[in-house]
Structure 1
């Protein structure tokens, strides 16, 4: 759940999600340090609102379109799977050769 200012807060019934997301963040940093000497890069991607079937299902359950549900997004649109894929391709490329242990947030500045 988000506060009006976009800061993440705890959410009832999301305990496992929160625990697993926290684990991914710590795992990213720990593993990056562990394998850096082997020139292996480890990063994690944390998307915000992305136009997917799941997002549509959440919106439908709230009797709204995804666009209506997330009208408060600063960029005034939801992200696309292609935009997340572009980030992942960049992270897999040599152009990101000095990035490791990073948590890359791609959330249209909702967490800013």
Structure 2
């Protein structure tokens, strides 16, 4: 099928050492892209990259502007930028620690803003580019204990839509993907302290199962292809029907 290959494209996936990031990196590689697995955890990023043809790993700490600047200079021209990295601290809002709010703001919103500012001009000059922001269904619908997290992830909606308008004339698209409940190692670790949690969550999903990293990666990789060239400024959920719009 025409328009589904990414041969010759360079893709950056932040948070690429995590479950969802690794799945996105694998799908983009399968479509022919040369992937940069970017993560604050360089050893695990290197493990992911080692299993992908033509991939490489680079360290980046999105909480540090100087580190983002260094990464932007080291990575070279980029065609696809997937903002997957994120950090969440679960705590009641009224008991929340503003230091945690600052960390989430730095990693979840400011970091993507800074990195996009560095890499978007090259996409626009070459008249081809894809921006994909991984947010959360918690940001769309609210999530108890994640007020600050949801606020920072919701900020990506406005950023992505504004960039979609600004970059459209240069044939650069900008979209948001919101995973719903997803079966990741992090969720499994949490469920150890709360037996039955995974089954409880699954029962509340119309499709009666948790999402997988591959479910998220499938949509992200499609949005990066030429088949999705007319899709921009959109927010799409991968939630098994939990969130319907």
Cα deviation for residue 34 of structure 1 reads 1.0
Cα deviation for residue 9 of structure 1 reads 3.9
Whether 2:157 is the aligned partner of 1:41: answer no
Which structure 1 residue ranges, 5 or more long, are not aligned? 1-6
Aligned partner of 1:75 in structure 2 is 207
Aligned partner of 2:232 in structure 1 is 100
CA gap of 1:63–1:20, structure 2 versus 1, over 3 A, is same
Which structure's relative contact order is higher, taking Cα pairs within 8 Å and 6+ residues apart?
A: 1
Aligned partner of 2:141 in structure 1 is 8
Q: Which has the higher strand share?
A: 2
Aligned residue pairs total 105
Q: Check whether the contact 1:56–1:65 (CA below 8 A) recurs between aligned residues.
A: no
Aligned partner of 1:88 in structure 2 is 220
Q: Check whether the contact 2:201–2:210 (CA below 8 A) recurs between aligned residues.
A: no
Which structure 2 residue ranges, 5 or more long, are not aligned? 1-139
Q: Partner of 2:141: helix, strand, or coil?
A: coil
Structure 1 vs Structure 2 CA RMSD = 1.8
Whether 2:194 is the aligned partner of 1:62: answer yes
TM-score (normalised: structure 1): 0.83
Cα deviation for residue 65 of structure 1 reads 4.7
Q: Check whether the contact 2:181–2:201 (CA below 8 A) recurs between aligned residues.
A: no
CA gap of 1:77–1:10, structure 2 versus 1, over 3 A, is closer
Q: Check whether the contact 2:173–2:231 (CA below 8 A) recurs between aligned residues.
A: yes
Instruction: State the alpha-carbon separation in 2 of the partners of residues 40 and 79 from structure 1.
Output: 29
Cα deviation for residue 32 of structure 1 reads 0.7
Aligned partner of 1:27 in structure 2 is 159
> Quick check: which has more Rg, 1 or 2?
2
